[in-house]
Chain A
């Protein structure tokens, strides 16, 4: 029977990256993916005949180091030459455009403030950047050599200079609304700059504590590009390094047996009953799926399972996918390239959040829109286009349940929002698909349909992500590892968890 060094559950981008690094180091690696093709939420998916979109619709901060290590360019990943603009849409074409460190469409005070704000935030982002690709050691009981990481964080911040360090300490937990009000006047600008602190989380502009760190996380990457192309390149790279990737191979459970007086993971069993042995199993699935569905809580100690159970995993982002007969025309925009935000002011985001807080769909949702067919013509037939929108805030648990009228209502509200800025869009719609967080959970095996697998909050970050005893990629069960977004550094298409997990596995393997 085939025996592997490592079996990786899930061929999403983190699973593929972990596999590639392990295979590159000489391990015999098998990746098992339940869907028909790899890529998970970043895979190109045909949602209507001839029209495809990845659910995770853009790569915004992928580390150059990973692209280099895995020779992704050789395998076809073409990062964008420059990061695309972010456009805060305004009525009557009065848009605010953020591009290459400058902002257009605002007054001179705001333009100047933006330069200063960007520089300061980029300094902070730069100081934190290395730590997204490091393993965060356990406080107190970690090895002394690991404690150095904490010292490094402190030192890096201190080296920013006293004033900067103080400012960092102050703003790290600030609600984004306050940060914006301190610096800017223009409402669209403020809403647009809030966005990266909030998208994918259960956070609103007035929410404290967990907004600025995501903002800095998203400023810390190097490369932008197309998710589909990234996945293709990762797949090719992993295979080139020698990893085996099987699709349509859903894992039913992790196999566990006692060995040397302790339980140990020693392989997996597929849905079809096939058993595959390995020295270790690495799961890119979310922590709750991994520990409760794939492993079984009975194999873990109760305090640990309690901490996994209480993880906050409810998603609040829905997807709207449109197959369009032509390129949509947004009033005042030559070409709808880049990332378009529909969020006229911070209160719009706040009140959209307030609806969802109570289990209702936002009456006036806020959206992030991209039209990927502008840079990847393979996504739609010639001359036609696809539009992808992240719609906030849409609760995973809707009051009354996600029945057909509820989905239709969501779809119409989202399209109405877009139509305010692209008046002719309804006539161009060939097909519309909505994916609620519940759909995302069912379609992609992610608990709660959560963007980050579990909330990207301070108490679920660093050495507490997903919880201590599982935050350094190993788990309390020998032979079982985690490599998905539920670990440090979190979600988005960055590959951090996959890379870090592989490094930890290889470190142990060597010693």
Chain B
């Protein structure tokens, strides 16, 4: 009976990255995926003939450059293009444009507030400094502060040195930033409400927090610390949709000899004598391996595909307490033409770029309040982009598809679980909102795919529909992710590892989790390390 060196559960981008690096080190790897497509939340799906939706995630920024180059993703077909220009809409229909050209961007800000136009430089510089610091930690395994092992002490010293290098003042500013709310952080810089709202909105993406919640400033940072081709803070579209990223990583994995099997969902991780020895698929087939790596989130891994008896005491409870509440919705719409937005000029950048249906800080906070009450937001925050305006491969000629990401949408409703009717009502609420800013929008709709946390969980496997595989709050970050003491990719059961976003550095299509896990695995197996170090070209 064949015994693999490693089985990776889940062909999301981190699982594929993990497999690629293990295979590159010469391991015999198989990735098993329950769906008939790979990519998990970084997937392209033709849900309506001729249109290819980036079904879940829709833009790319977090993908680690070092990994992109090392896996030669360009050779495997990945082309990333920054999309240029966004418009943010206020409650009253006011518009705030963002241009890729600095002078144009400045003049636009000045139109709203001369004070804020100048402040923006300071804001971006400060945010850039904080981002620089966090970026250094992304492709590293967190230390265990409770351990006296040499490697942990060394890593603590490394991190300590980075902190020390900030200098006293910066250190305090950093603590302040790390613990504040996005709204309060922005009060220090800006006076204009639409500008504040536009800058704050990345702070609520995928979170169960509001713009006024302490800790949302960090989420803001999480979303601006990526880069596209060295352009820090930029967001890009993958040609062919987000599935192209997964396909490219899969190409690299296969090139190194990894096997990838779809329609091979895992029923249970097989454990013998306290060691993971393989998996039992839903079909009944059993696969055996030296190690098992789960790309599923921590809650799903320990409470759905493992027998509670196989877990050491306390682990089931920890997994149950792991916070992974969904708060987002996704509405993918096929359009017969390019929508026109009121107040947006006919402009190569803006009318083909991204749209933020932002409102104001208060609107966003009230949207969060609805989530607390167990309903989708009456007036939701919607972040949209029309990839087909830049990428000819994802819609028929002259036609378009629009990706709409929504905050907030609860994992279950106050009056009961999600049903198809409620899902459609939610989708309608989103369309109604867009129609307010683009009269006639509804007439362009050819097809609509509405995804609430329910669909996201059922289809993608993200528990409760949380897009980050676990919330990004201090109690679940760095050496606390997913649980204190198990934050170095090794799990409480021997020969079991985790490589998904439930591990450091958390969510986003970054491949960092998969790569970091691979490094730890290869260390344990005493194989040469194939995972590159990050390159700090922004220093």
- A residues near B (Cβ < 8 Å) are 138-141, 158, 162-163, 165-167, 169-174, 178, 182, 203, 206-210, 310, 312, 347, 350-351, 354, 357-358, 457-459, 463-464, 467-468
Are B372 and A173 in contact, CB atoms less than 8 angstroms apart?
Answer: no
A-B contact pairs, 26 of them (CB 8 A): A139-B172, A140-B168, A141-B168, A162-B485, A165-B146, A166-B146, A166-B484, A169-B146, A169-B479, A169-B484, A170-B480, A172-B474, A173-B473, A206-B208, A206-B213, A208-B213, A208-B215, A208-B473, A208-B475, A210-B179, A354-B372, A457-B179, A459-B172, A459-B175, A459-B180, A468-B168
A158 and B365 in contact (CB under 8 A), knowing A354-B372, A464-B172? no
Chain A nearest CB from B12 CB (Å) reads 26
- A167 neighbours in B (Cβ, 8 Å): 484
Are B323 and A178 in contact, CB atoms less than 8 angstroms apart?
Answer: yes
In the bound complex, CA of A163 to CA of B318 (Å): 13
Chain B nearest CB from A398 CB (Å) reads 16
Are B212 and A357 in contact, CB atoms less than 8 angstroms apart?
Answer: yes
> Quick one: closest A residue to B170, CB to CB?
A140
Are B179 and A459 in contact, CB atoms less than 8 angstroms apart?
Answer: yes
Are A139 and B168 in contact, CB atoms less than 8 angstroms apart?
Answer: yes
> Quick one: closest A residue to B173, CB to CB?
A459
Are B474 and A208 in contact, CB atoms less than 8 angstroms apart?
Answer: yes
- B188 neighbours in A (Cβ, 8 Å): 310
- A210 neighbours in B (Cβ, 8 Å): 179, 214
> Quick one: closest B residue to A168, CB to CB?
B484
- A165 neighbours in B (Cβ, 8 Å): 145-146
Are B164 and A140 in contact, CB atoms less than 8 angstroms apart?
Answer: yes
Chain B 141-152 per-residue mask, 1 if CB under 8 angstroms from chain A, else 0 = 000011000000
- A140 neighbours in B (Cβ, 8 Å): 164, 167-168, 171
B169 at the interface (CB under 8 A from A): yes
- B178 neighbours in A (Cβ, 8 Å): 459
> Quick one: closest A residue to B176, CB to CB?
A459
Name the contact of B474 in the complex, choosing from A139, A209, A310, A347 (C-beta under 8 A).
A209
- A172 neighbours in B (Cβ, 8 Å): 474-475
- B362 neighbours in A (Cβ, 8 Å): 358
Chain B nearest CB from A283 CB (Å) reads 22
Name the contact of B146 in the complex, choosing from A158, A208, A459 (C-beta under 8 A).
A158
User: What 3 pairs between A and B have smallest CB-CB spacing?
Assistant: A166-B484, A459-B176, A173-B474
B184 at the interface (CB under 8 A from A): yes
A357 and B214 in contact (CB under 8 A), knowing A169-B479, A459-B179? no
Chain B nearest CB from A214 CB (Å) reads 13
Chain B nearest CB from A187 CB (Å) reads 15
Name the contact of A468 in the complex, choosing from B164, B172, B213 (C-beta under 8 A).
B172
In the bound complex, CA of A207 to CA of B365 (Å): 13
> Quick one: closest A residue to B214, CB to CB?
A209
Are B169 and A468 in contact, CB atoms less than 8 angstroms apart?
Answer: yes
Contact residues, B63-112 vs A (CB, 8 A): none
- A351 neighbours in B (Cβ, 8 Å): 372
In the bound complex, CA of A163 to CA of B315 (Å): 13
In the bound complex, CA of A357 to CA of B372 (Å): 14
- B485 neighbours in A (Cβ, 8 Å): 162-163, 166
Chain B nearest CB from A434 CB (Å) reads 26
Are B175 and A458 in contact, CB atoms less than 8 angstroms apart?
Answer: yes
Q: Given A172-B475, A459-B175, output 15 extra A-B contacts at Cβ < 8 Å.
A: A139-B171, A139-B172, A170-B484, A178-B321, A178-B475, A207-B214, A208-B213, A209-B214, A209-B474, A351-B372, A357-B212, A358-B365, A457-B179, A458-B175, A464-B176
B369 at the interface (CB under 8 A from A): yes
Interface size for B (C-beta < 8 A) is 37
- B residues near A (Cβ < 8 Å) are 145-146, 164, 167-169, 171-172, 175-176, 178-180, 184, 188, 208-209, 212-215, 321, 323, 362, 365-366, 369, 372, 473-476, 479-480, 483-485
In the bound complex, CA of A468 to CA of B168 (Å): 9
- B179 neighbours in A (Cβ, 8 Å): 173, 209-210, 457-459
Are A354 and B209 in contact, CB atoms less than 8 angstroms apart?
Answer: no
In the bound complex, CA of A218 to CA of B316 (Å): 31
- B369 neighbours in A (Cβ, 8 Å): 354
In the bound complex, CA of A141 to CA of B168 (Å): 7
- B184 neighbours in A (Cβ, 8 Å): 312
In the bound complex, CA of A203 to CA of B175 (Å): 18
- B215 neighbours in A (Cβ, 8 Å): 173, 208-209
Name the contact of A169 in the complex, choosing from B172, B323, B480 (C-beta under 8 A).
B480
- B321 neighbours in A (Cβ, 8 Å): 178, 182
- A174 neighbours in B (Cβ, 8 Å): 473, 475
- B323 neighbours in A (Cβ, 8 Å): 178
> Quick one: closest B residue to A358, CB to CB?
B362
In the bound complex, CA of A210 to CA of B164 (Å): 24
Chain A nearest CB from B22 CB (Å) reads 29
In the bound complex, CA of A458 to CA of B485 (Å): 24
Are A173 and B475 in contact, CB atoms less than 8 angstroms apart?
Answer: yes
> Quick one: closest A residue to B476, CB to CB?
A170
- A312 neighbours in B (Cβ, 8 Å): 184
- A158 neighbours in B (Cβ, 8 Å): 146
Chain B nearest CB from A265 CB (Å) reads 24
In the bound complex, CA of A206 to CA of B167 (Å): 33
In the bound complex, CA of A209 to CA of B216 (Å): 10
Chain A nearest CB from B137 CB (Å) reads 16
- A208 neighbours in B (Cβ, 8 Å): 209, 213-215, 473-475
- B168 neighbours in A (Cβ, 8 Å): 138-141, 468
- A170 neighbours in B (Cβ, 8 Å): 475-476, 480, 483-484
- A206 neighbours in B (Cβ, 8 Å): 208, 213, 372
- B212 neighbours in A (Cβ, 8 Å): 357
- B366 neighbours in A (Cβ, 8 Å): 358
- B213 neighbours in A (Cβ, 8 Å): 206-208
- A350 neighbours in B (Cβ, 8 Å): 372
In the bound complex, CA of A162 to CA of B486 (Å): 13
Chain A nearest CB from B115 CB (Å) reads 15
- A310 neighbours in B (Cβ, 8 Å): 188
In the bound complex, CA of A182 to CA of B214 (Å): 21
Chain A nearest CB from B473 CB (Å) reads 5
> Quick one: closest A residue to B168, CB to CB?
A140
In the bound complex, CA of A351 to CA of B479 (Å): 33
> Quick one: closest A residue to B484, CB to CB?
A166
> Quick one: closest B residue to A468, CB to CB?
B172
In the bound complex, CA of A312 to CA of B483 (Å): 33
In the bound complex, CA of A166 to CA of B144 (Å): 9
In the bound complex, CA of A468 to CA of B166 (Å): 15
In the bound complex, CA of A163 to CA of B485 (Å): 8
In the bound complex, CA of A259 to CA of B475 (Å): 50
> Quick one: closest B residue to A166, CB to CB?
B484
Chain A nearest CB from B369 CB (Å) reads 5
In the bound complex, CA of A172 to CA of B477 (Å): 13
- A166 neighbours in B (Cβ, 8 Å): 146, 484-485
Chain A nearest CB from B457 CB (Å) reads 20
In the bound complex, CA of A357 to CA of B362 (Å): 9
- A347 neighbours in B (Cβ, 8 Å): 372
> Quick one: closest B residue to A211, CB to CB?
B214
In the bound complex, CA of A337 to CA of B476 (Å): 40
Q: Which of B146, B213, B321 has the most CB of A within 10 A?
A: B146
> Quick one: closest B residue to A208, CB to CB?
B215
- A459 neighbours in B (Cβ, 8 Å): 172, 175-176, 178-180
In the bound complex, CA of A165 to CA of B146 (Å): 7
- A464 neighbours in B (Cβ, 8 Å): 172, 175-176
- B146 neighbours in A (Cβ, 8 Å): 158, 162, 165-166, 169
